[in-house]
Amino acid sequence: MLRDITLGQYYPADSVIHKLDPRVKLFATLIYIISLFCFKGIAALLAATAFLFAVIKTSKVPFKFMVKGLKAIMVLMLITALFNLFLTPGEPIVQLWIFKITAEGAQNAVLMAIRLTYLILGTSIMTLTTTPNQLTDGLEKSLMPLSKIGIPVHAIAMMMSIALRFIPILIEETDKIMKAQMARGADFESGNLIHKVKNMVPLLVPLFVSAFRRADDLAMAMEARCYNGGEGRTKMKPLKYVALDHKAYAIIFAYFIVILLCRTFLPWPM
């Protein structure tokens, strides 16, 4: 299961998506997330689906590799779907003890599961096609106007970059600790919920110790290199828009306009 988490990983490939400016990909991801939670009707859903699969095809990232990231959130998706299924008011079509299933609840459950799936796939494209350094530079450049009002943009971008770098490292560390504890007789599967939580203690303690040790080593390394923040720093590869980025912006705006038009003029029921 831990090996299936793709968030924070970079998949090298020679594609148009990889060559885009990271600011374009950040903006496109934001617009796509907004469109997922504002579309209404089958027409808009089909447009969002077509856009997502076109981007996946263009990115040259294997679809099976991206789908692996969905396994880690299956429980969250199931809980969200059940809440929408049983707690949405309306005329009940099925009554199960104190729980009732309505047509609106079934529709919301399916729609929310689709939205979460598309959300994970859409954000995975950004992280799989952009290195952490590119994401940091793009985020810092995009938020640079906020530095005029005293917001530490460089520090925020640096923290996000470090967090993304630590995700695959901590996943690998967790896998190693879990295998070592299982070799010593630890059991993480059997028993009830309380027993499973107690069994996680031998895993969490060394994991937290390792994480704090890595953070301390990183802080010492940054101090040894006289790191003092973003003031006065220059970029080895400054970000510059090219014609490809302008075309990508045009496609993103066109997609969002299509979603809004479908919501306004084609609000067909799901």
Nearest to residue 199, comparing CAs of 187, 184, 209? Answer: 187
Helix crossing, 42-59 with 103-128: angle to 10°?
A: 20
Whether residue 38 is contained in a domain is answered as yes
Give me the pLDDT at residue 5, please. 61
Looking at every residue in the chain, the average pLDDT score rounds to 81
Whether residue 270 is contained in a domain is answered as no
Nearest to residue 170, comparing CAs of 178, 159, 182, 181? Answer: 178
Whether residue 190 is contained in a domain is answered as yes
pLDDT bracket for residue 250 (50, 70, 90): very high
Q: Is the pLDDT of residue 251 over 90?
A: yes
Give the list of residues 6+ apart from residue 142 with CB closer than 8 angstroms, or none.
23, 26, 27
Whether residue 24 is contained in a domain is answered as yes
Whether residue 211 is contained in a domain is answered as yes
Give me the pLDDT at residue 70, please. 74
Least confident of 46-60, 72-86, 243-257: 72-86
Least confident of 14-23, 28-37, 93-102, 250-259: 93-102
Whether residue 220 is contained in a domain is answered as yes
Whole-model pTM: value is: 0.75
Which one has a higher pLDDT value, 227 or 266? Answer: 227
In the three-class reduction of DSSP (H, G, I as helix; E, B as strand; rest coil), residue 226 is classed as coil
- The number of domains in the chain is 1
The answer to whether the CB of 122 falls within 8 A of the CB of 36 is yes
Q: Which domain holds residue 226?
A: 2-265
Can you tell me the distance from the alpha carbon of 211 to that of 70, in angstroms, rounded to the nearest whole number? Answer: 25
Whether residue 219 is contained in a domain is answered as yes
Give me the pLDDT at residue 269, please. 55
What's the average model confidence in pLDDT over 52-58?
92
What's the average model confidence in pLDDT over 95-101?
73
Give me the pLDDT at residue 3, please. 55
Can you tell me the distance from the alpha carbon of 66 to that of 68, in angstroms, rounded to the nearest whole number? Answer: 5
Whether residue 70 is contained in a domain is answered as yes
Pairing mode, if any, of strands 92-96 and 99-102? antiparallel
- Residue pLDDT, tens place only, 175-196: 888 888 888 777 767 766 677 7
Give me the pLDDT at residue 21, please. 92
Q: For tokens 């003029």, what's the residue?
A: 265
Give me the pLDDT at residue 38, please. 82
Give me the pLDDT at residue 6, please. 61
Q: Helix count (H) and strand count (E) of the chain?
A: 11, 2
